[in-house]
Amino acid sequence: MVTEGMRVGKYELGRTLGEGNSAKVKLATDIVSGQSFAVKIIDKSRTSRLNVPFQIKREIRTLKVLKHPNIVRLHEVLASKTKIYMVLECVTGGDLFDRIVSKGKLSETEGRKMFQQLIDGISYCHNKGIFHRDLKLENVLLDANGHIKITDFGLSAVSQHFREDGLLHTTCGSPNYVAPEVLANKGYDGAASDIWSCGVILYVILTGCLPFDDTNLAVLCRKIFKGDPPVPRWLSPGAKTMIKRMLDPNPVTRMTVASIMANDWFKHEYSPSSCDNEDDEEDVSEEEKSHDSPTIINAFQLIAMSPFLDLSGLFETETVSERQIRFMSNRLATDVMEKIKTILMEMGFCVQKKHTMLKAIREESTRKGQGGLSLTAEVFKMIPSLNMIELRKSHGDSSLYKQLCERLLNEFDASSQR
């Protein structure tokens, strides 16, 4: 049980700021510096629900590389046998939802300033190849000075989540903020869907109500697919145009970040947020800065592969080496998948292939003394000439899994990137 006054590392926990199904957020003080932080405490016993551990790991990995004044900063991650502690920047002004509910719509001048900061933060994410996918008023916090801080990257996606068609395919987000192409479930561009959600946020900021709303989900979806929300006459022509072009149901003709930033209404008294390049300095070594060095993987991909950020051990009792390996190959992704499929079938697995992922099962045979095993193999394109293969064991015979790993590593002549 986590109580007020308890210490976690160098942090003394204080009052509870918020609470959800599997986590609570507490105010904390660094006992050395006296600085205040918000500590997100995740109870591992409550994270068994499908995808929750994955979302936590994804949020941590994403926040580790996002260092921008309009994005909540993750300072460090601590863990015990039962808890995960995410030490975050302390944002004391509540969220935009509470601000609109308590005080109503913002003036166009104030609303535009917040919208400019929102676009600054999202532009930064997109330039890093990260797409939020759950932008809504509740995920936009306000600091003591009224500046916005984007939070909750648990549903975010990165460029390696794109399928061969160059699109994302996971339907996620909050219904009132979700773009029509996401609901259509035919693949969508992460940047364009984030822009739609930003358009919904802008509409609420300036009008005090949602552009698309209905208690009947089917009716709500029809409204979203149609687009064309009612725009109050008292809004300025510039604001009306911005809302209509951002809430264009066609993602191809919808405004982009670049066109938003070039818009006269947006640029009015615009002061860009100064970006922190600290992450680039930390993640690029002197050797990598050399003009003679080979093409390097970007910072996010390096961090995603780093063992010190693999939090799998926080959720399961097996070690990472017993459950998951990663290795590199300069072969074409299609060739890699075919070779893995061939090896699996030779070893008696039933294999299902879907895009760049394989799911394989081998049933246990007591008569032959063979163990059963279930696993997935996925290929991620890092750069045009380099792919990362990730092999994950779901359950089954550890010795058989080790045998398979050794065979694959020998085949691709690569070393494990655990």
194 tagged catalytic: no
The residue whose two tokens read 């687009």 is 227
CA 205 – CA 201 distance, rounded (Å): 6
Q: Are 47 and 33 within 8 A, CB to CB?
A: no
Of 38, 48, 41, nearest to 17 by C-alpha is 38
Q: Are 92 and 38 within 8 A, CB to CB?
A: no
Tokens for 406, please give them. 């050794």
- 12 phi, psi to nearest 5 deg: -100, 125
CA 83 – CA 322 distance, rounded (Å): 22
The residue whose two tokens read 């693999």 is 310
CA 417 – CA 406 distance, rounded (Å): 13
State yes or no: 40 annotated in a binding site. Answer: yes
Q: Which residues contact 34 (CB under 8 A, 6 or more apart)?
A: none
Q: Which residues contact 264 (CB under 8 A, 6 or more apart)?
A: 238
Q: Which residues contact 398 (CB under 8 A, 6 or more apart)?
A: 318, 322
Of 239, 261, 251, nearest to 124 by C-alpha is 261
For the chain, what's the residue count? 418
Among candidate residues 134, 152, 189, 194, the one labeled active-site is: 134
The residue whose two tokens read 């064309």 is 228
Residues belonging to the active site: 134
Which residues are documented as binding site? 40
